[in-house]
Amino acid sequence: MALDYYGILGVGKDASDQDIKKAYRKLARKYHPDVNPGDEEAAEKFREASVAQEVLLDPQKRQIVDAGGDPLDRSQGGMPGGFGGGGLGDIFAEFFGGGGAGPRGPKSRVQPGQDALLRTRITLEDAFAGVKKTITVDTAVLCERCHGDGSANGEKPVTCQQCGGAGEVQSVQRSFLGNVMTSHQCPNCRGYGEIIQDPCSHCGGDGRVKKRRDLTVNIPAGIGDGMRIRMGSQGEVGHGGGPAGDLYVEVHTQAHKIFEREGDDLHLTVRVPMVDAALGSKVSMTHLDGSELELEIAPGTQPGQSITLQGQGMARLRREGRGNLYAHVDVQVPTSLDRKTRELLEQVRERSDAVTAIHDGQTEEASVFDRLRNRFRI
């Protein structure tokens, strides 16, 4: 039973090539495997739409469909090739692309376009907040003069005289095993089975031209380094004005001078003077989005200690919320002292010597300055 190719695309029998392409693109966006990963039913509908478009954009195949037939029906042909009535040459032809296997037929002039890949770099600030970025791409686009038909005057292609519309030519070579028939792509029509007599001067009959264009890509907040963003139908337009492939934008994040990213979390180092670490302090800092954050340095903060700010990290792409921000404290010990500062620190040490810490199981009062003296050996 012949397939309803018009029904698959949801168009009428009077649909133009542009209507067919538009209907296919709509279904492709809906059922593409990248949009429906793991959905076999969607993948099958995508394949059906691709086949239907290829058939209806081919004039010869569409003529068969309009006559009530199916140009892809193989049920009447039996097993291809067969071994009856042939010699060794017929058997060899099965393996060398001719003879009993029969011609493959002309290929469609309208071919789907290829996907394209573009890499772009963003700052960590862009990855934190999200950004719209303009990118420049060089891809094949639909020819504006012939609208993909490839003809200068809009005339339909004519059948190739060299291959008779088969898209391939055959040659026979004699060998000690018999006649070996091989098939080759027709050099005159390049396998299409038809020739455009007056090709478009702008695209040379290809139906597409190279063009540089600017696109705006929406980069979501929280995107990770090396992730790709898919832009449907923004890739290469296919030969003969076939549907465009997809454009994938691969995003790479530049290293930041202050913040370091680990997954959804952010890390930074906060340098705190020794006295502030001992007595406690508050430190103001500017976040990636320009907002001001205040870090509470508790009295007695030790070198390497971390301060956690919940929900101040990167946005999570596949779930709500944000990661955390971890501020790692680097206690700064002075390397050179003026006389007055040294005298003050000497007084601190003398006072600390009067108070003993916990040693050998004997517990006595210990001061913050005693711990500082033992750690920094002032």
Domain that holds residue 278: 256-332
The annotation places the binding site at 143, 146, 160, 163, 186, 189, 200, 203
Residues 53, 140 share a domain:
no
Output the domain CATH number for residue 44: 1.10.287.110
In the chain, alpha helices (H): 5-9, 17-31, 40-56, 59-66, 88-96, 124-129, 274-279, 339-353, 368-376
> Which residues share a beta bridge with 273?
332
Q: Which of 254, 273, 293 is the last residue of a domain?
A: 254
Q: Known binding site for Zn(2+): residues?
A: 143, 146, 160, 163, 186, 189, 200, 203
User: C-alpha distances in angstroms, 262 versus 225, 268, 325?
Assistant: 11, 11, 10
Residue 153 lies in a domain: no
Measured CA to CA, the distance from residue 200 to residue 90 in angstroms comes to: 43
Find tokens 């980069």 and name the residue.
219
Helix (H, G, I), strand (E, B), or coil: what is residue 51?
Answer: helix
**Do the beta carbons of residue 23 and residue 10 sit within 8 Å?**
yes
The answer to whether residues 239 and 268 belong to one domain is: no
Q: Which residues of the chain have pLDDT under 50?
A: 74-103, 355-369, 372, 375-378
**96 and 182 fall within a common domain:** yes
Q: Are residues 236 and 305 in the same domain?
A: no
Residue 341 CA to residue 249 CA, distance in Å, equals: 58
- Same domain, yes or no: 229 and 264: no
- DSSP letter, residue 155: P
How many helices and strands (H and E) does the chain possess?
Answer: 9, 15
* Same domain for 260 and 250: no
For 324, the token pair is 């955390």
| Residue 79 domain-assigned (yes or no) | no
For residues 345 and 334, the answer to whether their CB atoms sit within 8 Å is: no
Termini Cα distance of the chain: 94
**Considering just the CA atoms, what is the radius of gyration of the chain in Å?**
37
- Cβ contacts of residue 140 below 8 Å, gap of 6+? 113, 208, 209, 210, 211, 236, 237
Say whether both 66 and 129 belong to one domain.
no
- As a whole number of angstroms, the distance between CA 378 and CA 368 comes to 14
Taking every pair of C-alpha atoms in the chain, what is the biggest distance, in angstroms? 115
Angle, nearest 10°, between helix axes 40-56 and 17-31?
170
In a domain, 310, yes or no: yes
* 190 and 240 in a common domain: no
The pLDDT tens digits of the residues spanning 319-346 come to 899 999 999 999 998 888 888 888 888 8
Residue 120 and residue 217 in one domain: yes
Length of the chain: 378
Say yes or no: 90 and 135 in one domain.
no
* Residue 123 sits in the same domain as residue 69: no
User: What pLDDT is attached to residue 54?
Assistant: 87
Does some domain include residue 250? yes
Helix (H, G, I), strand (E, B) or coil at 342: helix
Pairing of strands 260-262, 265-273: antiparallel
80 belongs to a structural domain: no
Query: Is the domain of 175 the same as that of 48?
Result: no
Q: What angle do CA 190, 195, 201 make, to 5 degrees?
A: 100
What number of CA atoms fall less than 13 Å from residue 306's CA on the CB side? 9
The total number of structural domains that make up the chain: 5
